[in-house]
Amino acid sequence: MYTPDAVTETEWQRAHEDLIAKEKELTRAQDRLAAERRRQPGYRIGGDHVFEGPGGEYSLTDLFEGRRQLIVYHFMLAPGSDHQCEGCSMFVDNLGHPEHLNARDTTLAVVSRAPYPEIAAVRERMGWTVPWYSSFGGRFNEDMGVTVDGGENFGLSVFIRDGSSVYRTYFTQGRGVEKLGTNWSLLDLTPLGRQELWEDSPEGVPRSEPYAWWRLHGEYGD
């Protein structure tokens, strides 16, 4: 059984400070990358994508729920499959309360190829409340590159809306999804970011003081 080396408190403090310095540099590098990501161009999503959810049919614009930004997690759930992806399930288990994203004009949704009744059964079994839609019968998964030659992949896409026009600005998959799950990390993927004054953001992005917009969920309307 592995156990870290035993050292004096002074030796531990020295090693700890060295490690913290590296962690801080990584944080600054991640901030620079997020600033570059906010400036990444987007391409307009073509086609008339239709989804099924608890209220019937939805367009891609409907999934925004009236907000400017949409984050979609592509959950691996194929039509008729009796396998529920453990990794996708772990990701959804780690999602925070949606009100914090909503307060930054951002909606989070899950999309799978399985018909909606199959999705609803999994959602109920797992006790999830995140919006989850079916793209069954359409080309959304193929167009997003997560269904290839009939095989299912997972991933995460970011979209921004300009009126009725929708643009895809970011996509990640594989280990790029592992570090996500907090509201901060998800907002860092979007064109508008956290919308705080300290961020290096393009002209026109809304800004506010850090921490000032934070609320307990349920208190954003106060």
Tens-digit pLDDT profile for residues 161-207? 999 899 999 999 988 888 887 788 888 889 999 899 999 998 999 99
Residue 219 has a pLDDT of 80
| Residue 199 DSSP one-character state | S
Q: Is the model's pLDDT at 218 over the cut of 90?
A: no
Mean pLDDT of 25-37: 95
10 part of a folded domain: no
27 part of a folded domain: no
Left if phi > 0, otherwise alpha if psi is -120 to 50, otherwise beta: which for 105? left
Q: Is the model's pLDDT at 67 over the cut of 80?
A: yes
Report the number of distinct structural domains present in the chain: 1
Distance from CA of residue 181 to its chain's centroid?
A: 7
60 part of a folded domain: yes
52 part of a folded domain: yes
Residue 222 has a pLDDT of 61
The pLDDT > 90 percentage for the chain reads 72
Specify the range with the lowest mean pLDDT, choosing from 9-23, 91-105, 113-127. Answer: 91-105
Cβ atoms of 72 and 118 within 8 Å: the answer is no
- The CATH number of the domain holding residue 94 is 3.40.30.10
Q: How confident is the model at residue 49 (pLDDT cuts 50, 70, 90)?
A: very high
Give the pTM. Answer: 0.90
Left if phi > 0, otherwise alpha if psi is -120 to 50, otherwise beta: which for 195? left
Distance from CA of residue 93 to its chain's centroid?
A: 13
212 part of a folded domain: no
Two structure tokens written together for 127 = 């006790």
7 part of a folded domain: no
Residue 182 has a pLDDT of 79
Per-residue burial over 89-111, b if 16 or more Cβ lie within 10 Å, else e, is bebbeebeebebbbbbbbbbbbb
Two structure tokens written together for 157 = 């896409």
Average pLDDT, the chain: 92
208 part of a folded domain: no
Q: What long-range pairs does 11-17 form, CB within 8 A, spacing at least 24?
A: none
Q: Is the model's pLDDT at 148 over the cut of 70?
A: yes
Beta carbons within 8 Å of 204's beta carbon, 6+ residues apart: none
CA distances (Å), origin 74, targets 66, 77, 187, 215:
21, 9, 17, 29
Mean pLDDT of 116-123: 96
**Residue located via tokens 């600054």:** 28
Boundaries of domain holding 55 = 39-187
* pLDDT tens-digit map of 205-214: 999 998 888 8
Cβ atoms of 158 and 171 within 8 Å: the answer is yes
The pLDDT > 70 percentage for the chain reads 100
